[in-house]
């Protein structure tokens, strides 16, 4: 069991204060967007002795991961945990399923595109389903709305682009679910294609109408219009601001969880939380970014079915433990809540990341113990066996425990 130091990622959409303040550090002005904990080569997590988690696993994968997990996941840690702090909307994006990632990674390797190249899309051959556990109120977009809801958003906007979108979606209504998918896909494709995408003037006209109805109090979706206007103020010539109106707006309160399966078009707009995902950095960007946008690959990856956002409800397994079971084999999230002098034991499946989100605690294994305060993360190898958490200090203790199912 070892305390670990995360790998910071400084992206322009990040917050300069949220993560440093959470860690009781003095901000230095840089936008700390993410802090990675795992064994991904692009974000090395270091133990207190300076050895990376990646190296620790490489030395003895069966012992550190557990023999079954080492065998199943090719001697690698299957998940990645992050603290994520979103100050301005990050890119409109989708993550590939595993088969797409394997093909895309192999092709870019054969083409000799460097991993750190601007035009590199696939950083590894893995899929990237993910969840976010909100520590503050979080705003996001996730998945496509139903056809009729999309139609209602565009029917009172008197611009050429809005009328065209409205017409395409209307034509899909009387037909099959296949027509629904083709309608949304056609709209998305035309908005993104360099040959057909709307001009900055056309985007501005449409968003101007959204802004007017929002101010008049007659918006059919105030959250959607507000997010689109916010995005337009940052990216005024990006058609992704129009695509945002096709998606479900989501508000998470602290303690709530949103799951984004691979293939879900999504965007985090604002907030601070814990993100857990398959161990991958594969991000196929659609827009709202100055990074590389791969329209063709994005259209291949996106699931165009209409579906509500996937909010994971906790399964209460004890007075102290809530489990969030994502429908994947790579990770599960356990939230442990302890009050004065309470303790609980957690079973072991594999190698675990344990993060203190509030208060203070002592983590015990059979051989050792570690004191934790807010922001601390401890890596617990499978060979350490069951983990006991004990509350200490004056305020309630909240612990996030990430393991393999």
Active site residues: 285
DSSP track, 312-372:
PPPEE-SSSEEEE--SSSS-EEEEEEE-TT-EEEE--SS-EEEEEEESEEEEE-SS-EEEE
The answer to whether the CB of 82 falls within 8 A of the CB of 37 is: yes
The one-character DSSP state at 79 is E
Helix, strand, or coil here: 258?
strand
- Give the HSE-up count for residue 206: Cα atoms under 13 Å, Cβ half-sphere: 30
Q: With H, G, I as helix, E, B as strand and everything else as coil, classify residue 247.
A: strand
> Do residues 198 and 161 touch, judged by C-beta distance below 8 A?
yes
Q: What is the sign of the dihedral through the CA atoms of 228, 197, 161 and 167?
A: negative
CA–CA dist 191, 287 (Å, integer) = 11
CB atoms closer than 10 angstroms to residue 219: 18
In 177-286, alpha helices (H): 177-192, 200-216, 222-234, 240-243
Report yes or no: 306 and 155 within 8 Å, Cβ to Cβ. Answer: no
Residue found under tokens 């709530």: 256
Furthest CA-CA distance within the chain: 69
Residue 362 tokens read as: 């002592």
Q: Say how many CA atoms lie within 13 Å of 96 toward its Cβ.
A: 26
**Tally of CB atoms within 10 A around 110:** 8
Q: Rg for the chain (alpha carbons), in Å?
A: 22
- C-alpha closest to that of 344 among 358, 316, 363: 363
Alpha-carbon span 7 to 352, nearest angstrom = 17
Give the whole-angstrom CA distance, residue 85 versus residue 274.
9
Encoding tokens for residue 312?
Answer: 């994971």
């Amino acid at each position: 069991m070892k305390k670990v130091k995360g790998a910071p990622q400084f992206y322009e959409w990040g917050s300069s204060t949220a993560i440093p303040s959470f860690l009781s550090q003095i901000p230095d002005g840089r936008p700390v967007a993410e802090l990675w904990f795992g064994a991904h080569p692009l974000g090395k997590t270091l133990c207190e002795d300076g050895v990376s988690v990646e190296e620790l696993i490489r030395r003895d994968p069966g012992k550190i991961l557990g023999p079954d997990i080492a065998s199943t996941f090719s001697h690698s840690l299957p998940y990645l945990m992050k603290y994520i702090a979103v100050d301005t909307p990050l890119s409109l994006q989708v993550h590939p399923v595993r088969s797409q990632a394997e093909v895309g990674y192999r092709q870019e390797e054969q083409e000799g595109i460097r991993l750190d190249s601007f035009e590199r899309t696939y950083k590894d051959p893995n899929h990237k389903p993910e969840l976010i556990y909100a520590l503050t109120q979080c705003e996001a977009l996730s998945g496509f709305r139903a056809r009729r809801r999309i139609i209602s958003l565009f029917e009172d906007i008197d611009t050429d682009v809005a009328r065209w979108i409205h017409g395409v979606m209307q034509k899909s209504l009387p037909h099959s679910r296949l027509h629904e998918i083709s309608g949304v896909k056609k709209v998305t494709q035309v908005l993104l294609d360099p040959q057909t995408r709307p001009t900055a003037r056309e985007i501005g006209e449409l968003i101007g109408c959204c802004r007017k109805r929002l101010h008049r109090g007659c918006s059919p979706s105030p959250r959607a219009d507000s997010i689109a206007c916010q995005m337009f103020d940052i990216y005024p010539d990006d058609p992704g601001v129009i695509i945002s109106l096709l998606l479900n707006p989501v508000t998470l309160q602290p303690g709530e969880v949103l799951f984004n399966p691979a293939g879900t078009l999504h965007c985090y707009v604002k907030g601070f939380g814990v993100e857990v995902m398959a161990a991958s950095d594969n991000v196929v960007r659609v827009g709202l970014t100055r990074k590389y946008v791969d329209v063709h690959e994005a259209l291949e990856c996106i699931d165009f079915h209409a579906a509500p956002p996937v909010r994971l409800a906790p399964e209460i397994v004890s007075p102290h433990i809530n489990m969030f079971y994502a429908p994947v084999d790579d990770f599960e999230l356990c939230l442990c809540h302890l009050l004065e002098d309470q303790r609980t034991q957690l079973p072991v499946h594999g190698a675990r990341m344990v993060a203190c989100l509030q208060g203070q605690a002592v983590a015990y294994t059979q051989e050792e113990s570690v004191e934790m305060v807010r922001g601390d993360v401890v890596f617990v190898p499978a060979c350490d066996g069951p983990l006991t958490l004990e509350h200490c200090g004056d305020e309630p203790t909240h612990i996030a425990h990430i393991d393999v199912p």
